[in-house]
Amino acid sequence: MTRVGIIGVGFMGMVHYLTYQKLVGAEVVALCDCDTKKLEGDWTGIQGNFGPPGEHMDLSKVTTYESADDLIADPNVDLVDITLPPAAHSGVAIAALGSGKHVFCEKPMAMTVGDCDRMAAAAKQASRKLMIGHVLPFLPEYAWALREIRSGAHGRPIGGSFKRVISDPAWLENYWDATAVGGPLLDLHVHDAHFIRLAFGMPKTVASRGSQRNGLPEHWHSLFGYDKPEVTVQVTGGTIRQAGRPFLHGFEIHLERATLVFEFAVIKNADGSDEGRYLCPPTLLNPQGVAQQVEMGDGDPMNAFYAELGHATQVVQGVAEPDMLACDLARDAIEICRLQADSLFAPDNPAT
């Protein structure tokens, strides 16, 4: 049994807590948050864009802490699960690893590549697992694409395009603070940077054009180049200032003998309600002219977290390798984001 301590009881902390309740082989034994109401079980103020709403939780069998250091020192905790704001990830992760705990940390891994490297060094020195929660490869559409790529059945990947754009999240505190959240590059686009690193490897060249706000990329287009000149990946990311389409993501991935396409959006109805729907369902296009739609199941995002945290538990128990949760991949995703920002703000960039 892997005994888990969660640090940070916000929306993602709640998602993790509820997911562990369903997992065989894992148990939440400790929680940490600075809000005493949450430690008493009042989670009614927690809201998110998927999953169940917050409610009153029975925490009578869970040890609660207001201090991260106190939870880290708890001898009953094997795995520290960090769901804090991004700026706090590196410090808490390094402290937990130094105390002999395994660590699962929500994305982004950290705010800088240097902090990522320090986290990885701490894990190596402590001989403990450090996993980063990039859930995108566990979502059904992206898991399907990764399976098709890794199978080799359609040849190697030769290019693609990705998009991830949201309406300006004005309700999120410190979203445009470079030291706290990092804006849409580190909060949003890092998902695609991680997936592109998984599917295509680390790009050799990066060129970006776009707009900025508060010294952060706001909306941009980037082109990634690789060793083979015919292999290119383009990506569109960021925020728009129209609230009618709160969310959009998708891809078109070119393999030697197939193309994988998918696009999903949340669009506001006339009555103000949100409706999520496929603009293009997951589809495989083959050289024979056949477009094969692929069934994705019920599409509940909670299933992806079940698969992700189940995998993390198996890694701690020594029966699985980190794979998509590996910290070096998450570190490279931060590096890709840095290269995109550097290109966008370069003095010779006419859009700057």
User: Domains of the chain, with CATH numbers?
Assistant: 2-134+304-325 (3.40.50.720), 137-299+334-344 (3.30.360.10)
* Beta-ladder partners of 221: 209, 236
Other beta carbons within 10 angstroms of residue 179's beta carbon come to 10
- CB-based contacts of 344-348 (< 8 A; 24+ apart in sequence): 344/208, 344/209, 344/210, 344/212, 344/217, 344/220, 345/212
pLDDT of residue 351: 56
pLDDT of residue 329: 98
What does the pLDDT profile of the chain (352 residues) look like in tens digits? 999 999 999 999 999 999 999 999 999 999 999 999 999 999 999 877 777 888 999 999 999 999 999 999 999 999 999 999 999 999 999 999 999 999 999 999 999 999 999 999 999 999 999 999 999 999 999 999 999 999 999 999 999 999 999 999 988 889 999 999 999 999 999 999 999 999 999 999 999 999 999 999 999 999 999 999 889 999 999 999 999 999 999 999 999 999 999 999 999 999 988 899 999 999 999 999 999 999 998 878 899 999 999 999 999 999 999 999 999 999 999 999 999 999 999 987 765 5
Would you report the helix, strand and coil content of the chain in percent, each value rounded to 5?
A: 35, 30, 35
pLDDT of residue 312: 98
pTM: 0.95
- At 324 the three-state DSSP class reads helix
pLDDT of residue 301: 86
